[in-house]
Amino acid sequence: MSFNSNYNAKLLLTAEYLVLNGARALAVPLRFGQRLKVEDTNQGYLSWESFADDGCCWFSAKYDFDGFGIIESSNQGMAQFPQKLLKAALKLNPDFCSKTSGCHVVSNLNYPLLWGLGSSSTLTAALAAWAEVDPFDLHFQVSAGSGYDIACAISNGPVLYTLRDHKPEMEPLAFSPSFADKIFFVYQGRKQDSAEEISTFRRRNTNPDPGLLEAASVLTYRMLHASDLAEFEQVMREHEMLISGLIGLPSIRNSRFQDLPGEVKSLGAWGGDFCMLTWNEDTALLSAYLKSKGLQTWFNFNDIVL
């Protein structure tokens, strides 16, 4: 059976960490993403190739159809995640790949892998569609994450996401602030291991105070309904204070952007990947400012949010 579809990358704007415990979060799918193509063959096994945005093949492997054992791979460690997905998909749908005599799988990212925008979640959503299983069911088989990234992968626009009684709920939203031209996403040049960050948070915060969850949810709604840039920035400040107190780390403003004339907020696991900042001056000055911090990659909200 052939398959060819694309799934969206993501950014989590609010309720990082606390979304794991049921706080309501604002998440946005991006114009970046991953495409999965599957073609039938007669080779007797499943071959896999993953290509980067520059066209280079960064991973390849072969899997058998007897439980998707690894026949060979370019990287044994990397081969384990597709294997986990394949095995979990088979568990959820015992007919998955039952009628094929071979297939060739090709995944293509249209952004650099190191940006941390959801190469795993987009692959999970894509493989779920190919295997004809629920993407959230597949996600929770292989990951301890909240699943907001799966919601973004399959959504055509921003979503309000929450785990209610450990079950995902996503609500499509209209979120296009009138001041979106003042909101930017900046790559900090360091990739975070999301799975490790989740594990660390859960060890330290086995049962967060319900008041914190409600506070994060309120901030989500306030960000969603902010009427102007000043109100949006106030929410950013309060959110940073909330999470800083929760995880015991300094805010990104205090650690890296003390002289920023706007506001800045960490996104996702603190310490790496992207942050969100506001800039109310000429964008040429923003470029110069970020270069002075050693930062070269940044995007305006309107350029990358679906």
Q: Tell me: the pLDDT tens digits for 137-159?
A: 999 999 999 999 999 999 999 99
Structural domain boundaries of the chain? 3-172, 180-304
Q: How far is CA 54 from CA 65, 80, 130, 263, in A?
A: 31, 24, 25, 33
Domain 180-304, CATH homologous superfamily name and number: GHMP kinase, C-terminal domain (3.30.70.890)
Fold designation for 3-172: Ribosomal Protein S5; domain 2 (3.30.230)
pTM for the whole thing? 0.94
**pLDDT on residue 198:** 64
End-to-end CA, the chain: 30
Length of the chain: 306
Condensed to tens digits (0 to 9), the pLDDT of residues 53-106 reads 999 999 999 999 999 999 999 999 999 999 999 999 999 999 999 989 999 999
Helix, strand, or coil (residue 18)? helix
What is the pairing mode between strands 159-164 and 274-278? unpaired
Evaluate whether 3-172 and 180-304 have a shared fold.
no
Residue 1 and residue 128: Cα distance in Å, rounded?
14
Mind giving me the DSSP string for 231-296?
Answer: HHHHHHHHHHHHHHHHHT---HHHHH-TT-SS-EEE-SSTTSSEEEEE--S-HHHHHHHHHHTT--
Judge contact between 234 and 216, C-beta under 8 A. Answer: no
